[in-house]
């Protein structure tokens, strides 16, 4: 069988201070067929590498088109979104006829003039391939599902785990559904039930762990092809934002409907308990200092670039300095200007520096400090949480300010792994406190060795207080903005 596969993804935060254009995708690395065989560029394929591996295992013909992803930020510049979309569609047109299409999309991509990029892409894909070719879509679980997406895809799945450690498994499952559809062995029928709630729901802890395990059990029931819990992406300001359940059965719309609705009600019932308890800045530091041995990890969730935050906020760092905490490391702080100055000064130099606080009010005020340049690296990278391929950090500079090591870098991203720190020159496990600018993805790499993990709700772009977000277009009512029942 011949399969066209491609990847266009962005998690759009309507309130981010960071713009999104073609250079945002180029920074992460774009795969184009003109670069050569996809097998020689697996790190650029991102999730499509899993589709590609499955095609090879099955002996199918894989035609890989555009693969492009950018860090979360504002809606994409219209011209650049349309250019990337059209490049992806041109690849499909050139590959026709195909037996099946597999796409990785994010599920919360917006562009100027487009609230629902995935719905737009899928409508155009359907127009090209016609009604008979199955189209499978793999999403991040922080996806907002829209009618246009459901109407034009044959099957949509998202990852089930947060942190997202299961993309490879979900890619294989989706491939199996779409291949079986192409062979006429199954007839997927999808029903979607919206769940009017906003939040972040970590699946490594209860009650979410058992809830997700329960979904996996129910997928084994006869006639059920897939169940996806879409957590929603709360920072996309449009009427489709929020959680939901996608149930896919083999030709049974009533069963799919009742599954989606009942699971949706069960998820809604968990809304008060499914999010991690958060600490403000002062209590997070108090808790960390109470821990007398080992390394405590504080997650600076509000400044997670993986949700569209700038990753240069100073609220936690300033508090650590004011309380004269020593033996801590903070990263990754996205500050290309500070990196440049550190490189000019050289390792060992002691210089005045302005650190962080540059992107706007959500970053806090910049810190003016005397810093010692400890380590400068041009080749630092960390393994990606989903596929393990190295992700370049850009140039990195570790500077010491009164006993706190600050890891500055040039390519905005969250630390998925302790390797993000060690690659820059500082071993996080030698420190008493590690502050990671990440919400949950760090967990996969840090949890095993951390003496404790503290989730900090500092001020910042991703602060958990939904009432502070200037929503203009969200569909109401929705929890927790409105007191509703379901
Ligand atoms: Zn996600």
pLDDT in tens, 359-391: 999 999 999 999 999 999 999 999 988 788 899
CB of 442 closer than 8 Å to CB of 299: yes
Locate the DSSP E strands across 108-204. 135-139, 155-158, 188-195
- In the reported structure, the alpha carbon of residue 486 is separated from the centroid of ligand 1 by a whole-number distance in angstroms of 25
- In the reported structure, the alpha carbon of residue 140 is separated from the centroid of ligand 1 by a whole-number distance in angstroms of 5
Structural domain tally of the chain? Answer: 2
Residues 205 and 325 in one domain: no
Q: Name the one residue in this structure whose structure tokens are 């907002």.
A: 144
- In the reported structure, the alpha carbon of residue 160 is separated from the centroid of ligand 1 by a whole-number distance in angstroms of 10
Give the Cα separation of 140 and 250 in Å (integer). 23
Residues 169 and 141 in one domain: yes
- Residue 243 maps to a domain: yes
Of 242, 269, 296, which residue sits at a domain end? 269
Q: What is the pLDDT of residue 136?
A: 98
- Residue 411 maps to a domain: yes
Q: What is the pLDDT of residue 422?
A: 97
Question: DSSP of 288-351, one letter per residue?
Answer: HHH--SS-EEEEEGGG-GGGT--S---HHHHHHHHTT--SEEEEEEE-HHHHHHHHHH-TT-EE
Residues 286 and 239 in one domain: no
| Residue of 414, 440, 421, 333 whose CA lies nearest to 377 | 421
- Residue 99 maps to a domain: yes
- Residue 474 maps to a domain: no
| Residue of 149, 103, 95 whose CA lies nearest to 8 | 103
- In the reported structure, the alpha carbon of residue 1 is separated from the centroid of ligand 1 by a whole-number distance in angstroms of 31
Residues 260 and 348 in one domain: no
- Residue 410 maps to a domain: yes
- Residue 14 maps to a domain: yes
- In the reported structure, the alpha carbon of residue 273 is separated from the centroid of ligand 1 by a whole-number distance in angstroms of 20
What is the helix (H) or strand (E) element at residue 8, kind and residue range?
Answer: strand 2-9
- In the reported structure, the alpha carbon of residue 342 is separated from the centroid of ligand 1 by a whole-number distance in angstroms of 33
Of 212, 246, 269, which residue sits at a domain end? 269
Residues 264 and 291 in one domain: no
- Residue 481 maps to a domain: no
What is the helix (H) or strand (E) element at residue 84, kind and residue range?
Answer: helix 78-95
Q: What is the pLDDT of residue 385?
A: 83
Residues 207 and 294 in one domain: no
DSSP 460: S
- In the reported structure, the alpha carbon of residue 228 is separated from the centroid of ligand 1 by a whole-number distance in angstroms of 14
> What are the residues whose beta carbons fall under 8 Å from the beta carbon of 46, sequence distance 6 or more?
7, 9, 67, 69, 104, 384, 386, 387
Structure tokens at 426: 């500082």
Q: What is the pLDDT of residue 485?
A: 86
Helices 48-58 & 167-182, crossing angle to 10 degrees? 50
- In the reported structure, the alpha carbon of residue 332 is separated from the centroid of ligand 1 by a whole-number distance in angstroms of 19
- In the reported structure, the alpha carbon of residue 162 is separated from the centroid of ligand 1 by a whole-number distance in angstroms of 7
Of 247, 269, 291, which residue sits at a domain end? 269
Measured from the Cβ of residue 316, the count of other Cβ atoms closer than 10 Å reads: 26
- In the reported structure, the alpha carbon of residue 307 is separated from the centroid of ligand 1 by a whole-number distance in angstroms of 8
- Residue 21 maps to a domain: yes
Residues 242 and 191 in one domain: yes
Residues 24 and 136 in one domain: yes
What confidence tens digit (pLDDT) does each residue in 264-296 have?
A: 999 999 999 999 999 999 999 999 999 999 999
DSSP 428: G
Structure tokens at 227: 């169940």
> What are the residues whose beta carbons fall under 8 Å from the beta carbon of 483, sequence distance 6 or more?
none
Give the Cα separation of 197 and 241 in Å (integer). 9
Q: Which residues of the chain have pLDDT under 70?
A: none
Q: What is the pLDDT of residue 389?
A: 87
> What are the residues whose beta carbons fall under 8 Å from the beta carbon of 363, sequence distance 6 or more?
17, 303, 310, 312, 313, 314, 356, 357, 460, 461
- pTM for the predicted model, two decimal places: 0.95
Question: DSSP of 187-238, one letter per residue?
Answer: -EEEEEEEE-B-----TTSTTHHHHHHHHHHHTTSTTEEEEEEE---TT--S
Structure tokens at 350: 């002691």
- In the reported structure, the alpha carbon of residue 158 is separated from the centroid of ligand 1 by a whole-number distance in angstroms of 10
Residues 265 and 413 in one domain: no
Residues 202 and 324 in one domain: no
Residues 316 and 264 in one domain: no
Give the Cα separation of 321 and 406 in Å (integer). 11
Give the domain CATH number at 122. 3.40.50.2300
- In the reported structure, the alpha carbon of residue 142 is separated from the centroid of ligand 1 by a whole-number distance in angstroms of 5
Beta bridge partners of 190: 248
Strand pairing report for 328-334 and 433-436 = parallel
CB of 21 closer than 8 Å to CB of 76: yes
Task: State which residues form the domain around 158.
Answer: 2-269
Residues 76 and 224 in one domain: yes
């Amino acid at each position: 069988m011949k399969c066209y596969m491609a990847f266009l993804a962005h998690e759009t935060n309507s309130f981010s201070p960071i713009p999104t254009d073609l250079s945002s995708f180029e920074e992460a690395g774009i795969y184009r067929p003109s670069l050569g065989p996809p097998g020689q560029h697996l790190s650029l394929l991102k999730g499509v590498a899993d589709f590609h591996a499955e095609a090879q295992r099955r002996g199918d013909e894989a035609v890989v088109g555009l693969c492009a992803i950018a860090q979360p930020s504002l809606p994409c510049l219209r011209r650049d979104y349309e250019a990337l979309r059209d490049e992806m569609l041109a690849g499909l047109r050139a590959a026709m006829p195909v037996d099946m299409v597999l796409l990785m999309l994010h599920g919360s991509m917006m562009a100027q003039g487009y609230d629902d990029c995935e719905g737009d892409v899928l409508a155009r894909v359907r127009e090209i391939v016609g009604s008979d070719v199955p189209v499978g879509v793999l999403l991040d679980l922080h996806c907002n599902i829209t009618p246009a997406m459901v109407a034009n895809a044959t099957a949509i799945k998202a990852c089930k785990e947060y942190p997202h450690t299961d993309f490879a498994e979900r890619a294989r499952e989706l491939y199996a559904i779409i291949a079986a559809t192409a062979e006429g062995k199954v007839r997927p029928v999808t029903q979607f039930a919206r769940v009017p709630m906003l939040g972040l729901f970590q699946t490594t802890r209860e009650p979410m762990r058992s809830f997700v395990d329960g979904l996996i059990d129910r997928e084994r029931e006869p006639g059920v092809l897939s169940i996806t819990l879409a957590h929603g992406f709360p920072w996309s300001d449009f009427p489709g934002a929020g959680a939901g359940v996608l149930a896919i059965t083999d030709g049974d719309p009533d069963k799919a409907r009742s599954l989606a609705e009942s699971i949706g009600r069960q998820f809604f019932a968990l809304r008060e308990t499914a999010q991690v308890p958060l600490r403000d800045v002062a209590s997070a530091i108090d808790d960390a200092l109470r821990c007398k041995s080992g390394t405590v990890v504080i997650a600076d969730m509000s400044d997670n670039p993986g949700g569209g935050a700038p990753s240069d906020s100073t609220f936690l760092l300033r508090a650590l300095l004011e309380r004269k905490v020593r033996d801590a490391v903070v990263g990754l702080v996205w500050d290309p200007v500070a990196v440049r100055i550190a490189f000019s000064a050289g390792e060992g130099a002691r210089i005045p520096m302005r650190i962080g606080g540059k992107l706007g009010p959500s970053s806090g005020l910049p810190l003016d400090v005397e810093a010692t340049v400890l380590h400068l690296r041009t080749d630092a990278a960390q393994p990606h949480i989903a596929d393990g391929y190295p992700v370049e950090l850009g140039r990195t500079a570790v500077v010491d300010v009164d006993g706190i090591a600050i890891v500055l870098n040039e390519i905005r991203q969250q630390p998925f792994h302790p390797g993000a720190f060690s690659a820059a020159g500082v071993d996080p496990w030698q420190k008493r406190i590690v502050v990671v600018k990440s919400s949950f993805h760090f967990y996969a790499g840090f949890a095993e060795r951390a003496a404790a993990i503290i989730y900090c709700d500092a001020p910042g772009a991703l602060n958990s207080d939904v009432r502070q977000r200037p929503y203009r277009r969200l569909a109401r009512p929705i929890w927790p903005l409105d007191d509703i029942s379901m």
